[in-house]
Chains A and B, each alone.
Chain A
Amino acid sequence: MNIGNGRLIRIVCLIGVLGTGSCKKWLDLKPQDGIVSTAFWKTKEEVAAEVIGCYSSLLAPPPSGNGSNDRSLTEYLFMWGELRGDMITLGPGASSEEVDVTNVNTLPTNSITRWTAAYRTINYCNTVIDYAPGVLKQDPTFTQASLNEYLAEVRSLRALMYFYLVRVFGDVPLKLTSTTADADLQQLPKTAQKDVLAQIVKDLSESEANAVTTFGDKVSDKGRITKYTISSIQADVYLWMDDYNDALTACNKVINSGKFGLIQGNGNWFTTLFYLGNSNEGIFEFQYAAPVNNPFYLMLESPSRRYLASGYVSTDVYNFDSNNPLNADIRGDGASLLFGDGTIWKYVGINSSTALLQGSYYTHWFVYRYADILLMKAEAEANLNNGADALSIINIIRTRANALPATALTPDPTDVNAVSDYILAERAREFAFEGKRWFDLLRFAKRNNYARLDILLDLVTRSVESDRQQSAIAKYKDFNSHYLPINAGEINSDPSLKQNPFYN
């Protein structure tokens, strides 16, 4: 008996020791997949990967974890820029939420008002801004100069995201610090649009000095933020702020660099500019490439697609020459859309007749291209009372595209309104379905304290169901309705965030 006794006690002791003696270490477990932050931010390669990650987030929601079931940013940008415009109509797969937005009837519960995709990228940028400087101490091969280049990229990208947000929502919370732990979570009030714009201007001008002019390869030059991308964003921001001199200066920086030009308007124009992408005309394009598809198959091409080109686009925006079908605006049939069935073709076609194969939708999303710079310059010139200069730029664009005489206007160069209308119409033709239409309309309409509100009121007749037009016009007369409501989910989780006026 005694034998068992002693042996058992020893075994029990052993179990006890194993169980408790080293339990401090025993409970300390680390994940095997994913890098733990304490082990991160040590080398310049990690900084580079994290900067690239900011761009990657533009293409699709993150593969796992937070936000993985969100729409891609590109999809939001398309919806925000086109749903309230007059260029699209809804297809068979459109949801009632989309119907509501086109009819100027957006409720705060509408998921199209979710801004998380943009803020996710902002947080990635903020993370680089907060942690990359610390790597200087860790990695002696990491230089201040290359740190500054990286920071210029992410701060500009952050500025671009905020620029989209202020145009869609008006006043938005301005978060400039990263969220990495639960202690970083904040509940912010909204920041006034002008203050957000001031931050955007500040970020852009500070970045401009450090940004590179080239990364050495074409893909990065078009897919990442260079000095010229910054100038392009600046031009857009200044136009939005009605600061025409600065807008003009910014446009001229891009033009004078001599690095960009218009792609010749021949039979290869569509394929070169859109299908292949990264052309001489491109300034900043979201670099969709295998294996990540852009979201447009389900939106524009599948049998249950959600969007079609509005009938008005073929008849009024581009028009056609019934005597000579070959004499056509190259941007119209077989480029922006198919006149036949209204398919939005820009992201679907390889050339004017062949469609992409499902699963290989790699057409880029075009944020800025050279034509935009030219027309932004025209807009600045027009508002600086250089109407003639503006008209000559419009003509460069029209000539390249073989725009039809039926769409030509002959405004008095001194009539700012008339020239502006022409620019707006030309922008519709040039940037059809590139997610710019609503922002253009609103920018022109709000100028000089909403002197051109008629632009939006006229829009209603083209974009809203006939029985809802009166109500939509009444709504647009309240300037607050030009911005989308803040999503109910955001309001709910932040008591200090007030709903946008109109939507209370």
Chain B
Amino acid sequence: MKIFYYSLLLSGLLLLQGICVHAQHAGLVTGVGTIIRGKVLDKEKKPVHGVNVTEVDADKRIIHGTTTDVEGNFALHITSPKNVVSFTIVGYKPFTEKIGDKTYFNVSLELGSIDMSEAIVINTRRSDNGLVSIPEKDLTIASAHINAKVMEEMQATSIDQALQGRIAGVDITANSGDPGAGMQIRIRGTTSINATSNPLVVVDGMPYSTTIPSDFNFGTADDQGYASLINIAPSDIKDITILKDAAATAMWGSQAANGVILINTKRGSVGKPVITYTFKGTVAQQPSSIPLLNGDQYSTLIAQEYINGNNGRPLNTQTQAPALAYDPSDPYNYYNFGQNTDWVKAITQLGWTNNHNISMSGGGEKARYFASLDYLKQTGTTIGTDLTRTTARINLDYNVSDRIRFRSDLAYTNTNNDRNYVNGSSSTADGIRNIAYNKMPDMSIYAYDQYGNLTPNYFSPASTLQGQYTTNASTSTYNPVAMALYGRNNILTRRVTPHFNLQYDVIPSVLQLTSDAQFDINATKNKQFLPEIATGLASTDPLYNKTYDGDIDEFIVQTKTTLAYTPTLKNDKNSFMAFLSLQTSDDKSIEQQAASSNTASSLLQDPSVPSNTTTSSAALSASSTETRTIGAVLDAQYNLLDRYILNAGIRGDGNSRFGPSNRYGLFPSLSGRWRISGESFMQHLNFAKKINDLSLRFSYGESGNAPTTDYSFYNTYSTFQYSYAGQAGLYPSQIGLNNLRWETVAGKNLGVNIVLFNRKVDLDVEFYQDRTYNLFFPNLSIPGYNGFSAVNLNVGTMDNQGFEINLNLQPYRSKDWTVDFTVNLAKNENIIRTISPFFPASNTGNATGNGLYKSFLQINNPLGSIYGFKYQGVYKDQASTIAKDAKGAPIVDPSGNPINMTYSYPSVNYQFQPGDAIYKDVNHDGNINYIDQVYLGNSTPKLTGGFGPTITFKGKWKLSGFFNFRYGYDVENTTKMTTTNEYGYNNQSTAVLRRWQKPGDATDIPRALYQSGYNWLGSSRYVEDASFLRFRTLTLRYTIPPQTLKRLKIKALSAYVTAENLITWTKYTGQDPEVTLPGGNPFAVPTDVSVTPPPKMLTLGLTASF
């Protein structure tokens, strides 16, 4: 470790020296030739060796330089006697003297150095929009800021995890609790139905790509499931700012329509080198799952279910299902299918995380550095999942002079993520956990031989009652333990991001030019292997030992040139600031993918191994895409009397993803702030002194969103991968979307800032409405007779509106005690205003089938309503199935016989039987059909937020807790549906033990009915209120007082313990009520499919600085 450190430092210094040499050389060309000489001594009159002696001009630019020898002597060519000569060396206070006529300098240096804390004097908190920095009190936009102190406590592996629940209006949910799984970040809900509703991430002023092209097959991950944000080590982050309103995001143009997250990494500051070591160790435990049937209960259920569903014909245990026979004379089946296996438990383990971060920062007047190395190793709570990440970062600042400054940052990340093999293309389609939930519990994990002896081989028959492994994720099954351990899904990412920045004061303190160039070299490799020992497929099957190898190389070049103008106005009662920024980006990606199958052994896991490449599941493909964007922003801010602040801007965008007719877009923004507390009428009020700030803000801004795919405006032709009658065929593969336009978000925001009682109360209230025009809908279903079944279209107008409240309180403060309290609240809803005729009016039409809920597109009504049948229990006996009219009298047919309650007459015409589910016959016609579907709930939370206190004692002890909650939202509990539907061969929850079995049984669970009946129609049975309050984190930190540390020669030392996801209070019966909220899609409602839930975690952390 130490060696690495020195080498890091050395390489940094070498780089700096290079710059120095260059500067000297430039000076010599015009040099005059005067030489000054001298001697440098310390207070004890001993010569100081290695002192940097430099000639510095008025802008503090180094003209010439040299160092003193062992005797402390030096000689230096100088250019002009008007300059000064400067003497610096680490450990001594710097010394400067005007040259003038002097040619010999006797210098005596004093011991000591400039401390970090002395160097940085903070008088006003400044915030920036990533382009220019503006004092926070003058901000006209809605933003939220999180500083390093808060960041420090988080034990998350990535920033998005750390931000979860912290900021009003920022909703972050994990797609799954597995290592490396992505987070869904939503700032103020979604303004788009676009696949990329994720906000733009800007690191150190440059956009940071977080998506992987969607046509790249990750097996598991849709593009949101893959967490690129994991590439930044949280310990390297200085602060995070979130831009929420459209006026703020308008500056960033396309991609920023969903909000902007600005991340600044730590930088060096003047002072002695400070070495900081941070350790975080976490243990995570999976919360207990829904209780499931054991093997014996399962086989009883299935036998009954089959008889009920097949007219009393029992399952033939000889031919159809030896699995249920329990025949001791057939030891192979008796033992292999006679177990009580808890599959969920079998794939679950304790998860461990280790994170080490070591950094060094420091610097002098001219050069500053921050270097860090971070190592993370995480094993997930599902077996076979882990993540290893190494990041290294070096941030260098060099001041050539007061007018020219360089910054050069280099970040490298290497992540190695092992995931479970996933069948299908969506992250929730078929997790191993899902298979484990459904898997027959009477099956053994390991196989027994035909004599009944346990063998070490996994028991993976090619086919069981439940079917076999297929590419159709919803019907596929396999041995989840073998799949978790031997299936491979490895994602290896290497990312290098060099970033160069040059600042030049064209006119000092008036006109500043900043130029950035960033190169992002991102290589991702995905290897997958589907082992035969988990699927049990025959060796000729195209899926037998299927291997996959995919590579994607992305190369992004981004530039940004900003010219900021801040004139000094004669009248100091007003101020003006303007900037012009030009931005370009060029994103090239090259993909190569290969797949083959039928390799000879489960150890041969690479497609290059001689194997079967002729089957349809094998493929070889390569593609390359390129996206270019260009943008220009002009923005100006005027401040009058510190009370009236107005900001106006305009941005032009060009994007290569549009056809020539719609390629450019122009997006204006306007925002203002009125500081009421500054008005004279306020000053006369009695309580005026208690008000630190009272401001009203408004903003309006537009920003454009580009499509997610390249080249979609071209009509293209592709080749079939096979010939027909010996000839190659072509087909029109892509419809040309010439009419695709910019999706424009026009946002309005009204905000109030109130700061009271000497900043003890800080309240920020925001009301907003974002109206999205030309709403972009990817894969909109269109009538299939057009030859295409789905296209991307601009379909309408959608509003996204709500409010946010952020409150920071300091209710108590004394010499020893400080109590802080923070609360955030938000509500957001989506409303469709206009929509294209292609857009369906409801998700299912009038049709109803098992498992389907209905949602309607209701113009001008908030989205998220769920419709379905009202579940009223179970028909107890034959008599109860008779249909009744509104008065409760039996309904009779024309011949006077009472009729049974019927489902969907005449097209289905199913007569309800005893033991079937009772649905409310709303119109009392004796027929349950679509007319009887009623409103069951709404999935938009009425309120979301978080709160938590922080208590500090004597600056040593600190206790902080954080709670987050969602209130008033309904979720479709799909897991409950699939574990109580008693419809197929999947394992069920223990709730079905109280199912209806014989006439007279009064229960709430209908009879088991194999592949028939209508017992699990979308009904109130599976719609649940998932409101919850979660005790998310509790942290206790102890900081060792500096006096104690001084003796140990340690600068700072603190340790903490954090518990996460301690308790969740909820009435929800599923595994975890915090279900990912789908955005924008008018019909999407949150469905709980039991992905790996966030585990309970305990973290031990340590931070030490030397």
Contacts and interface: CB of A to CB of B under 8 A. Distances in A.
A29 interface: yes
B709 to A, nearest CB: 10
Interface stretch (B260-268, B788-796, B873-881): B788-796
B297 interface: no
B732 A123 contact: yes
A108 to B, nearest CB: 4
Given A109-B852, A180-B735, A173 B729 contact: no
Interface string A160-187: 0000000000001101001111111111
A478 B740 CA distance: 46
* Most interface-central of B467, B506, B847 (chain A CB within 10 A): B847
A59 B720 CA distance: 11
B630 A19 contact: yes
Interface in A67-103: 67, 70, 92-93, 95-96, 99
B781 A493 contact: yes
A107 B907 contact: yes
Nearest to B909: A471
A30 B656 CA distance: 9
Contacts of A495: 837, 841
B724 A27 contact: no
B817 to A, nearest CB: 54
A109 B729 CA distance: 33
B467 A304 contact: yes
A53 B720 contact: yes
Contact of A49 (B730, B782, B849): B730
Interface stretch (B190-198, B452-460, B535-543, B1022-1030): B535-543
A54 B57 contact: no
Given A29-B711, A488-B844, A119 B785 contact: yes
Interface stretch (A233-241, A260-268, A286-294): A286-294
A28 B627 CA distance: 10
A384 interface: no
Given A108-B846, A182-B791, A304-B463, A52 B626 contact: no
B1069 interface: no
Nearest to A95: B475
Interface in B461-500: 462-463, 465, 467-468, 470, 475
A492 B845 CA distance: 6
B578 interface: no
Nearest to B732: A127
A4 interface: yes
Contacts of A503: 907
Contact of B735 (A51, A182, A293): A182
Interface string B604-616: 0000000010111
Interface string A300-342: 0011100000000000000000000000000000000000000
B245 to A, nearest CB: 28
B781 A36 contact: no
Nearest to B628: A27
Given A96-B1011, A492-B781, A185 B838 contact: yes
Contact of B728 (A52, A219, A223, A485): A52
A423 B893 CA distance: 42
Contacts of A40: 717
Contact of B781 (A35, A99, A224, A489): A489
A4 B506 CA distance: 10
B627 to A, nearest CB: 8
B96 interface: no
Contacts of A405: none
A27 B656 contact: yes
Nearest to A124: B731
B786 interface: yes
Contacts of A368: none
B738 A107 contact: no
B734 A34 contact: yes
B541 A50 contact: no
A288 to B, nearest CB: 9
Contacts of B910: 105, 471
Contacts of B320: 92
A223 B739 CA distance: 39
A370 to B, nearest CB: 20
Interface stretch (A8-16, A139-147, A454-462): A8-16
B538 A181 contact: no
B300 interface: no
Interface string B835-863: 00111111111111110100000000000
B737 A182 contact: yes
Contact of B736 (A127, A182, A219, A488): A182
B848 A107 contact: yes
Interface in B649-678: 654-656, 660, 663
Contacts of A65: 718, 733-734
A16 B581 CA distance: 10
Contact of B850 (A30, A96, A180, A485): A96
B784 A52 contact: no
* Most interface-central of B462, B542, B625, B715 (chain A CB within 10 A): B715
Interface residues of A, number: 121
Contact of B791 (A60, A108, A185, A292): A185
B717 A35 contact: yes
A116 interface: yes
Contacts of A182: 735-740, 791, 793
B855 to A, nearest CB: 12
Given A63-B720, A109-B852, A124 B1011 contact: no
B468 A304 contact: yes
B947 interface: no
Contacts of B715: 36-37, 180-181
B1012 interface: yes
B298 interface: no
A478 B787 contact: no
A181 B735 contact: yes
A29 B710 contact: yes
* Most interface-central of A29, A36, A173, A217 (chain B CB within 10 A): A29
B681 interface: no
B729 A55 contact: yes
Nearest to B623: A33
A406 interface: no
Contacts of B724: 52, 55-56, 59, 223, 287
Contacts of B733: 34, 62, 64-66
B711 A115 contact: no
Contacts of A31: 625, 710-711, 714, 716
A455 B789 CA distance: 36
A298 B716 contact: no
Contacts of A36: 714-716
B731 A488 contact: no
A180 B793 CA distance: 14
Contacts of B654: 23, 27
Interface of A: 1, 3-5, 8-9, 11-12, 15-16, 19-20, 23, 26-37, 40, 46, 48-57, 59-60, 62-67, 70, 92-93, 95-96, 99, 105, 107-110, 114-116, 119-120, 122-124, 126-127, 172-173, 175, 178-188, 217, 219-220, 223-224, 287, 289-293, 298, 302-304, 357-359, 465-467, 471, 474-475, 478, 481, 485, 487-495, 497, 499, 502-504
Given A23-B654, A504-B846, 6 more contacts: A56-B729, A357-B540, A359-B612, A487-B784, A490-B783, A493-B780
24 contacts: A20-B632, A23-B654, A27-B656, A32-B624, A34-B718, A35-B717, A53-B720, A59-B724, A105-B910, A107-B848, A109-B852, A110-B849, A119-B784, A175-B787, A186-B783, A287-B725, A303-B463, A359-B542, A465-B310, A474-B909, A488-B844, A492-B841, A493-B781, A494-B838
Interface of B: 26, 57, 59, 61, 310-311, 320, 400-401, 403-404, 462-463, 465, 467-468, 470, 475, 502, 504, 506, 513, 515, 538, 540-542, 559, 561, 582, 584, 612, 614-616, 622-630, 632, 654-656, 660, 663, 710-711, 714-740, 780-791, 793, 837-850, 852, 906-910, 983, 1011-1012
